[in-house]
Chains A and B, each alone.
Chain A
Amino acid sequence: MPEITYLEAIREALFEEMERDADVFCIGEDIGAYGGAFKVTDGLMAKFGEARVIDSPISEIGIVGAAAGAAHMGMRPVVEMQFIDFIANAYDMLTNYVATARYRAFLPCPMVVRGPSGGYVRGGPFHSQNPEAGFIHTPGLKVVYPSTAEDAKGLMKAAIRDEDCVLFFEHKYLYRRIKGVMPAGDHVVPIGKARIAREGTDLSIITYAAPVYKALEAAELLEREDGLSVEVLDLRTLAPLDDDAIVSTVKKTNRVLILHEDTRTGGIAGELTARINESCFEWLDAPVLRVTAHDVPLPYAPSLEDFVLPQTADVVLAARRLAAY
């Protein structure tokens, strides 16, 4: 099996699922004839036709709402946000309508909302966001955010098959930088399960998406320079959180650093810290530390963006502080 990129892995999942299930269709802006702003859906329209690969008007409320309606009737829509930043337009539809549909009305809403997310790409304030925390806060939505090509494919297939709405965040920094060999056969990665990206015994870095690679880089350096054994836990799914995996790494290393690219206040690190505090305080040898973006909109200039976003050196510094307790 040849290596394919993170982006191609997502595309492969879309092809396979549309082939497997006639109820799966894609809808979004410029996804059909053009193949999408990042070409994730390239070739889909040629293979499956305009009826199943729908070029929509610029209407995030419209397409998310329409996906919900189609999902109620048994379809399995996959909605593309051209940039995940624009999901804010559909916030009402996702949180008030979609997330509550099963609970308040017993309406199934199997749908995926996917889109390129994240920074480190000089995209500026509206092409770099990580809006996951706002949706994790809403019961009824599932949120996944893979870091590897294998997980990108396997989680996309799981998301399309899930009976509820899954928000699928794709990290655009990883789209063409990360490659993997896809496992043979019907490769489905279960939603709700974290992955140990690196085994370690001295401290744990809990993270997801692009920062997984910052954590791995930091772990290498800390092992080399400090003799520290660092465990890296890649959450993969942010809602529902894999509490078992979180508790288990805390009990193993007793020191926890949470790393995310999202801004600090109200970011998922706060929630993780609270859960660790409530469920395994006795196992901690140090306070839980956070490395996150600064609480500012993401700026465009490389010198500014690099300062605002967490970097490997920040992770190393925080890990040393933790280890010193």
Chain B
Amino acid sequence: MARTGTKRDGGRDARTSATLPPAAVEGDVALSDAQRLELYYWMRLTRSLEERLVNLYRQTKVVGGLFRSLGQEADAVGSAFALEKHDVLSPLIRNLGSMLVKGATPVEILKQYMAKADSPTRGRELNIHFGDTERGFIGQISPLGDMVPVMAGVTLSFKMRRQPRVGLVYVGDGATSTGAFHEGINLAAVQRCPLVVVVENNGYAYSTPTSKQTLARQFVDKAAGYGVAAEQADGNDVIATYEATKRAVDRARRGEGVTLVELITYRRKGHAEHDNQSYVPAGEIERWERDNDPIARYVTRLNAEGVGADVLAGIDARVQREVDDATDLAEQSGVPEPLDALTGVYADPSVVPPLWFREGKRSAVDSHERPEGWGTFDAPAKGAD
């Protein structure tokens, strides 16, 4: 099995098809056969779960928008797979695969999208914006780049407590333009935090192409400006993604600080389901689908390595069963009780009282508090001349 991924030309512009930087020193990044099949399972689960969400979205069972990672499953799964159980990652909207690897379950994802009472955020947040520090993933927020400083702090705590843990934060090509990205990676760099910053270069930030995001020739070039190590990999090659990220993770765990990892991939769907992608040049999406689908590429590779079609079909069947079971379970859950909206803003006080017009009053007027002598305009003015 090849140890270093090389980018296959998927038809993107020259900037993102740039030659790889000099290969970093390789650590022990070999995967077992079982792990290689596990990578396939996570990618297949990601895609099937999102396909199920599309169905639910069309049935109006998804309350808000739906965000696909179609075509990016390898970069999400391969990078997260490089972390250990006690490591912590912060995903992006297109990192469903990373969250599944870190222990998020299909039923949680479905309940969350359907705003169920027993969803991970009890109906407070949308889509895959949720986390669990025990399992090692922290929910993102919508302002992009903000999770870089937060993960700088998470990993700063690892350093301060001398824990052998690593953090990984995903940003898109668009988020690299934010002040939060800059401040976060710079702070993590000077503090030598054990942090891996993954830039998922998928070509577009909503409708804006990378050419309008930065004049840098490639995102890894930014690493030099921060004095941090760099890795670049073909994000549609799950093994290459894993290997590049693993080198960065190992470096962080050795106390060698931050690595910026650029994973080159392509967003085949719009920003969300409502986005008709009118800004995408004709044929671009089709070319990536035909030539550079991460799952199809990986299947070809596994087949060439002797993994039988029956083995992969078995995994597909397992995934289908799990998604079906999760859907049945999620659909049974109820909606949140309205009063739960007023709990948990603070630890203390833990509940905000409802406003008077939501207290269930039947009458608009109850008694006045100070019936006798209301108003003292006819009493002697106190303190007047």
**Which A residues are within 8 Å of any B CB, using their own CB?**
25, 51-52, 54, 56-57, 59-75, 77, 92-93, 96-97, 100, 102-108, 139-140, 142, 162-164, 202-203, 222, 226-228, 240, 254-255, 280, 282-283, 285, 320, 323-325
- Taken together as a complex, chains A and B put the C-alpha atoms of A126 and B152 apart, in Å, by 28
- Taken together as a complex, chains A and B put the C-alpha atoms of A106 and B343 apart, in Å, by 11
A-chain residues with CB within 8 Å of residue B131 when the two chains form the complex: 105, 107
> Is B204 an interface residue when CB atoms closer than 8 A count as contact?
no
> Is B62 an interface residue when CB atoms closer than 8 A count as contact?
no
A-chain residues with CB within 8 Å of residue B121 when the two chains form the complex: 104-106
Task: Determine whether the beta carbon of B349 is less than 8 Å from that of A240.
Answer: yes
- Taken together as a complex, chains A and B put the C-alpha atoms of A222 and B129 apart, in Å, by 57
**Which B residues are within 8 Å of any A CB, using their own CB?**
121, 124-125, 129-131, 133, 138-139, 141-143, 146, 148-158, 160, 179-180, 183-184, 186-188, 190-191, 344-349, 352, 368-370, 374-377, 381-385
Given contacts A73-B154, A93-B180, A97-B143, 12 further A-B contacts (CB under 8 A): A61-B183, A65-B148, A65-B180, A77-B153, A96-B142, A97-B141, A108-B347, A142-B346, A202-B383, A323-B381, A323-B382, A325-B377
- Taken together as a complex, chains A and B put the C-alpha atoms of A34 and B353 apart, in Å, by 46
Task: Determine whether the beta carbon of A57 is less than 8 Å from that of B157.
Answer: no
Task: Determine whether the beta carbon of B154 is less than 8 Å from that of A72.
Answer: yes
User: B150 → chain A, closest Cβ, in Å?
Assistant: 4
User: A255 → chain B, closest Cβ, in Å?
Assistant: 8
User: B162 → chain A, closest Cβ, in Å?
Assistant: 10
Given contacts A25-B160, A61-B179, A283-B369, contact A66 B139 (CB under 8 A): no
- Taken together as a complex, chains A and B put the C-alpha atoms of A309 and B183 apart, in Å, by 35
User: B178 → chain A, closest Cβ, in Å?
Assistant: 9
Task: Determine whether the beta carbon of A227 is less than 8 Å from that of B383.
Answer: yes
A-chain residues with CB within 8 Å of residue B153 when the two chains form the complex: 65-73, 77
Given contacts A54-B191, A103-B344, A105-B130, contact A96 B146 (CB under 8 A): yes
- Taken together as a complex, chains A and B put the C-alpha atoms of A208 and B345 apart, in Å, by 25
Which of A51, A62, A67, A107 gathers most chain B CB within 10 Å?
A62
| A65 (CB) vs chain B CBs: closest residue | B149
Contact for A66 among B125, B187, B352, B376, CB less than 8 A:
B187
User: A292 → chain B, closest Cβ, in Å?
Assistant: 23
| A165 (CB) vs chain B CBs: closest residue | B346
Task: Determine whether the beta carbon of A92 is less than 8 Å from that of B183.
Answer: no
- Taken together as a complex, chains A and B put the C-alpha atoms of A101 and B159 apart, in Å, by 23
Task: Determine whether the beta carbon of A75 is less than 8 Å from that of B160.
Answer: yes
Contact for A323 among B148, B150, B384, CB less than 8 A:
B384
- Taken together as a complex, chains A and B put the C-alpha atoms of A275 and B7 apart, in Å, by 63
- Taken together as a complex, chains A and B put the C-alpha atoms of A197 and B269 apart, in Å, by 62
A-chain residues with CB within 8 Å of residue B344 when the two chains form the complex: 102-103, 106
Task: Determine whether the beta carbon of B152 is less than 8 Å from that of A51.
Answer: no
| B126 (CB) vs chain A CBs: closest residue | A104
Contact for A74 among B124, B146, B157, B370, CB less than 8 A:
B157
A-chain residues with CB within 8 Å of residue B150 when the two chains form the complex: 65-66, 68-69, 72, 97
A/B interface sample: 16 pairs, CB < 8 A: A56-B187, A61-B179, A61-B183, A62-B183, A65-B152, A65-B153, A69-B152, A69-B154, A75-B160, A104-B121, A164-B347, A203-B382, A222-B383, A283-B370, A285-B376, A323-B382
